[in-house]
Structure 1
């Protein structure tokens, strides 16, 4: 029976985020990561708790609040407060690393990639997921605005969405290949996922997810009633997108690289 990554995310996260994370978990789960493993930007640890069968070796994140949440999931053997540009580990400490939807937010990106290369052993796998330029290109509202001739409004909305989602790095596979090569990696494979229809569900989910944000602020939980009685219709809506993750026009890309 195929493992379901959607429901464990849906019962803990706003639907738009649950959908994306579930698709990413289904892809990352298929890749074997030799220990010791470094999770670069582990956040609250929920993703790793769903995506992997065993606790990840070490998770790092600059947010102490996120690390406290991650400790509750017990999805890491160790947790460390650190930034990607100054990793507190000796050279060649790790046999593999992954980073899920983190590097699009990172500055200085090239310094972080170089620092990660330093702490990975030669031949070590590095798996990461990031949005590509389709993330802004396929947003539904700008596409509609462009069709009616409101190109300036479309550009402003896309830029506003980029800022709101704290996205600073949007690059195609060829650009990432050059970045990785400069940092001491070799890109082995990339696959696009999350087609435009799924992205548009995510886009509107930001607005319909406001009640979850209020719940989070008041109670510390995104979902107050994590049952199918409460979430059944939401699950029915998002599952159609979960079932078709890979796409040539996917707005996100998964990369598998190796330390040179």
Structure 2
């Protein structure tokens, strides 16, 4: 049973030392949500990528990391965040029915076109009563982007909508859906949402959005040297820390542009849940 408990300041600094501040802000917030959260083992990380998040958020390696791309998996090996790495599409995973006690998926499902098929597979590989924990940008994300709001105030409706589409394309978002949509999807495959909350307000989104535009030096550093932050010293990161600290300390809000879900695989004896909205934890 995995249950993390790290001091909050440690969480924020660990992400700032290894990611550009605009990515570190949201990843540190999501990391904090896992602290104290019980994850029955074995644990599968769906869309494990380069393994960075798991290596920072969890003090022990997760059992399995699965990703469809070889490049990130090869990079992930050096972080030793997983006991086993598997190259596979999330819609066709090579695991037996009910093999895992928990599945986590951190900011992955929004990138998957065939998300319904993936959810069916998650339901198949998680045992009844097992947990499915994930987070995604929601329906507010494209609407609250700073660029969209500026164009809207100028009365340039087409430019505002085009900006949202462009930013989503840059972010590789296939969909940004509401909690109601996710509840319908999860109910369809046999999951019950235990808790749900929204986080990262419009101001935080704007800070992240501007950071994308200023993040070219970090991208060059990553391409040339294999790391996002060239000098991970406190003195060099103090300004990013000040920018990120307020967001990190008060992330949960009803107007948040991201949503965090804790779902449970229903046991056969349970009745199908009603159409009530997800609980807010």
Provide the TM-score with structure 1 as the length reference: 0.97
Alpha-carbon distance between aligned partners in 1 of 2:236 and 2:8, rounded to the nearest angstrom = 22
Q: What is the root-mean-square deviation of aligned Cα atoms in Å? A: 1.2
Task: Work out whether 1:44 is the aligned partner of 2:50.
Answer: yes
SS at match of 2:8: coil
Cross-structure match for 1:74: 80
1:136 aligned onto 2:167:
no
Tell me what 1:3 maps to: 8
- The alpha-carbon deviation at position 54 of structure 1 amounts to 1.6
**Structure-to-structure mapping, 1:1-260, within 5 angstroms:** 2-4=7-9, 5-260=11-266
Aligned length: 260
Other structure's SS at 1:134 match: coil
The alpha-carbon deviation at position 207 of structure 1 amounts to 0.7
1:163-198 deviation per Cα after TM superposition (whole angstroms, max 9, x unaligned): 110101211111100000111211222100111111
The gaps in structure 2 that reach 5 residues or longer are 1-5, 267-281
Q: Deviations over 1:81-124 (max 9, x none)?
A: 11101101011100111100000001211000001111110010
Secondary structure in 1 aligned to 2:142? helix
The runs of 5 or more residues in structure 1 that have no matched partner are: none
Q: Cα distance, 1:206 vs. partner?
A: 0.4
Instruction: Output one character per residue of 1:139-175: Cα deviation in whole Å (capped at 9) or x when no partner.
Output: 1121121112111111111110011101012111111
TM-score norm. by structure 2 comes to 0.90
